[in-house]
Each structure stands twice: as structure tokens, then as C-alpha cells.
Amino acid sequence: MIVLGAGPAGLLLGNLLLAAGVDCVVLERSAEADVRTRARAGFLAANTVRILDRHGLGDGLHRSGRTHSLCEFRTGDGRFRLDYGSLGRGERHTVYPQQELVGDLLTEYTGRGGRIRFGTEALAVRDADGVRPSVTVRGPDGRPGRWQGRYVAGCDGRHGAARRSLPPGAVRRHHRDHGISWLGLLAEAPPSLDAVGYAVHPAGFAGHMARTADITRYYLQCPRGTAPDDWSEDRIWAELELRMRGPLRRGALIQRTVVDLESDVLEPLRHGSLFLAGDAASLLSPSAAKGANLAVLEAELLARALTDDLLHGDSEGLDAYSARCLARIRRAQDFSQWMIRLLHDLPENSSQHHIRRPCLETLRTSRAEQDWFAEQYVGV
């Protein structure tokens, strides 16, 4: 079994296959140090925590993560808070930076003898429509190589070899560009709120998400085409405080990225012996924090299906894998798009222009809407 990519999906899949006695190898383009330190999302859903606990992989998040269930909306009409942990099903997020989760999974995998090849770039998946697919690679020394197995799991992202290797017509791509861009910022500064902050402002959206006691994630809506370094630190903090409608605890900006809000889903998530999971399967906007949580859910479903097939000759799980995942992806996609409409002051010529304000007011006043929000916000 060949697993492409050492993110949450690939490493969880590797751990679960290893525990089941299935021989596998993980191929990762980056160096180990980069894998352990690349900052990504940090909100783990309750079901994600249950999956990790079910397989004995949750010690790190219980030791260093913290539960969270409060969000605050700031608009021109005022502010309101939702304790979503007391609404809906009463479930909470666990705030645990993704690089920490990846580090935990990597340490567990290698500690139990799991095989991983860092600095190994997958170039193409060959013969996926047969029973002996292979992956051509470029090794750390630049020399070509080839791995062969019964199945290949593409957990290597939207631009990885798994997606690139799909032949024309093998899958349908459902892509939508929402026409909105965010400047993603990691600030070496303590959180300014005890809640996730969502600010709707005529100048654009701003978001506040605590990561640790000393690190805060911010998002700032920016014009399409903005480069990460186009705005000075002073301008960024001034815009954040304007849109958040209040002073913030400032610090050095240690990471900047520009995120174009898109959804990009493939259907089906299988081509012969090649299966897709994580960002290779679907990319949703970060507006609802679903990416890593979907990756974990998909990895568990795929690990169970592969184990049943390889060890017991039962292919039912593999045959149903795509449909089971896509049902969750579509639900997450719908909520992500709802959040985009809720948080952004869309152009006057948009059919959604007059919907945002009533939606916020209903969310503020309706218990039924709040229960629905809580269930969708935490669930996958």
C-alpha cells in the first residue's frame, strides 16, 4: 500500500494500516522538519477527537489542546456571542494546531516502525486502472525511482501527483470560485478575545482565531490579486482594528498567505486502485474550518475499507468509500458557503446582497437557528 503525502490524512491512514498489519509506505515531498512545523488549521471537531481517541492517537491533543465553544459576531448593528457548546448537540471544538497533530501522528508512526520517505516527490501514478499500480518518484538525491503496491492513497493535496494522474473523464470536478480573498496572518501575539471573532464591516471581513496563549490567527479580506507582502504591518493592524471595531493585542506577523475562497470537489474519489482523501479529494474555503476534520474522517473510512479488502477479501467498504465521503463533503460544503454569505458584504448586484443582515439577525435571536448553527459548525 502506497500513501502519498504526510499530512493528517496520510499519516492517520498510515498509522491505522500499520496497526492492522497492512504493509504500507508514506512518500512525502518535504523534509521532516518542514512537515512538523508547517502551520495550518487548528480547530478539531468533536468527531475528529473521537476518531483519534478510538485509535489511541489523542494523547497529545488532550495534554496540550484546549476545548472551545464560544464565537462572537461583530457587525454595524452591534455584537453578539454564541456558546455553541450549549446549543445543538452540545459539542465543542478542541483547539490544537495542525502541526502539533501531524507531529503526534508522525512520531507514533515512525516509533512503531512505519516506513516513510521524506524528500521523495511523487511524479505520477501509473496503471491505476489495474491491480498493480505504481508511483514514479524523484528521490532526495534527484534520482528517479518507482514504488509499486496493490493500492495508492492520494493524500498529497490539490496539486499533488494523485490528482494530476487522473486521466481525462475519470472524475467530475465541481469547482466554484467565490470571488473573495483573505490575507491569512499568524501573529506572535496573545489572543485579544476569548472567542472566535467574526467581524462584518463595509471595508471587508476580519476574523480572529486563537491558536495558543502566544499565537493568534487572523484573517483579513483583501482585493483579489493582493500579494502576501503588499500590506505593511501597520496597515494590517490598522485594518484589523477598524474591522474588529476595537483595539487588539499586537505582535510580529510571522506568517502571511493569501487564500482565494474556493470549493473544489472531485467525484468519485476513486479511479481503479487510486483513492483520494484530504485536500486531494476536496478543497473547501476555510470559512467553516472543515478541511482537517474531513481528512481525518476520510482516512479512517479508507483505512477500514482497505483493511477489509486486503486482509479479509471484502471489497464492500472500498466500493462505498467515495459515496460515504462525498455525503459528508457536500454537507460541509453547504455550510461553508452559508458562512461565506453570512460574513461578507457582497456586491449590490449580487443576488445575496440583502440576505446577510437578516441572516445575522436571525442567528442572534432564534434558538432554532442557533441550534442548527451549532450542529453544523462543529459537525462533519
Q: Which residues are catalytic?
A: 68, 198, 286, 290, 377
Exposed, middle or buried, 310 (CB in 10 Å: 0-12/13-18/19+)?
A: buried
| Secondary structure of the chain as H, E, C letters | CEEECCCHHHHHHHHHHHHHCCCCEEECCCCHHHHHHCCCCCEECHHHHHHHHHCCCCHHHHHHCEEECEEEEEECCEEEEEEHHHCCCCCCEEECCHHHHHHHHHHHHHHCCCEEECCCEEEEEECCCCCCCEEEEECCCCCEEEEECCCEEECCCCCCHHHHCCCCCCCEEEEEEEEEEEEEEEEECCCCCCCEEEECCCCCCEEEEECCCCCEEEEEEECCCCCCCCCCHHHHHHHHHHHHCCCCCCCEEEEEEEEEEEEEEEECCEECCEEECHHHCEECCHHHCCHHHHHHHHHHHHHHHHHHHHHHCCCHHHHHHHHHHHHHHHHHHHHHHHHHHHHCCCCCCCCCCCCHHHHHHHHHHCHHHHHHHHHHHHCC
Q: Which amino acid is at 170?
A: A
Euclidean distance between CA atoms 103 and 313, whole angstroms: 33
| Burial group, residue 312, by CB count within 10 angstroms (0-12, 13-18, 19+) | exposed
